[in-house]
Amino acid sequence: MERMLVVVFDNEKQAFEGTSALRQLEQEGGISIYAGGVLVKHANGTISVKQFDDDGPVGTLTGTAVGSLIGLLGGPLGVAVGALSGMTLGAFYDIDTARVGEDFVDDVSQALTPNKVAVIAEIDEEWTTPVDSRMEPLGGTVFRRALWEVREKSDAEDIAAMKADAAQLKSEISKAHADRKAKLQKKLDQLQARIESQQKKSTERREAFAARQKAKRAILKKNAAAADQALKNLAKTTV
């Protein structure tokens, strides 16, 4: 199952031990990691983040569920997030891209108090015990949530509804008196801007989703090849 995993630790040493344990678990075939980051919440409320799989095919956290969750956790003070190359704050504040509920964000936010560190990863796992059994001995508090699908149908419905409103406004403008026409035109201009913004956001979501799916296929192929090689090596081992 595709899930968002967040493990909150008391310090960076524990957190990086946690990332090492996750990588090891992936090598063993227990999980697949699609994107991940280590988030540090400082005493002043700002956060800094480092992608912990820089060489992976995902390449950057921008547009991923992980990147969006990081931005939501950073909040209005989380400007330090922008220090990571390739990341823009504008892409982050989006619960739809994070693909988890607001209650999940709230639960993690309450646990991620100043000076604590979180390992955040988008993973695929069949059961929870392998991850929990590695994280808990390291002092990690584990949060996880199944990721929902991209809301493409809902986006299309929203855009269609706004276009219907725009068509109605255009009809009213064509029949309105001059004093009323200016007010209606202002409303129409604002609505058109929202339509364009929503269309852009929807396109970005689809493109990000397609890129993630391509990256995930590459990761699964890599893991399958590694597992196959491990079996071949085992077969050659002299008992």
Residues 191 and 180 in one domain: yes
| Same domain, residue pair 85 and 115 | yes
More confident position, 156 or 72:
72
The helix/strand/coil state of 133 is: helix
Query: In this structure, are 182 and 221 located in the same domain?
Result: yes
CA distance 14 to 11: 6
How does 14-31 read in b/e, with b if 16+ C-beta sit within 10 Å? bbbbbbebbeebbeeebb
User: What stretches of the chain show up as alpha helix (H) in DSSP?
Assistant: 12-27, 65-74, 95-98, 102-111, 129-135, 152-175, 178-236
Distance CA 173, CA 219 (A): 54
Cα 36 to chain center, whole Å? Answer: 9
Do 110 and 215 lie in a common domain? Answer: no
Model pLDDT for residues 6-59, shown as the tens digit of each residue: 999 999 999 999 999 999 998 888 888 888 888 888 888 888 887 665 444 334
Residue 141 and residue 180 in one domain: no
Question: Quick one: 8 and 119 in the same domain?
Answer: yes
pLDDT of residue 30: 86
pLDDT tens string 182-204:
888 888 898 899 888 878 877 77
* Residues 135 and 173 placed together within one structural domain of the fold: no
Number of domains within the chain: 2
Domain boundary among 113, 148, 183: 148
User: Are 125 and 158 in the same domain?
Assistant: no
More confident residue, 227 or 19: 19
Give the pLDDT confidence score for residue 64 in this predicted structure: 73
Same domain, 160 and 127: no
Please tell me the predicted confidence (pLDDT) of residue 52. 64
Quick: pLDDT tens for 56-108.
433 456 667 787 788 788 765 443 444 443 444 444 456 666 777 788 888 99
pLDDT at 73: 83
Domain that holds residue 15: 2-148
What digits encode the pLDDT tens for the residues 158-170?
Answer: 688 788 888 888 8
C-alpha of 29 from chain center:
23
- 179 and 224 in a single domain? The answer is yes
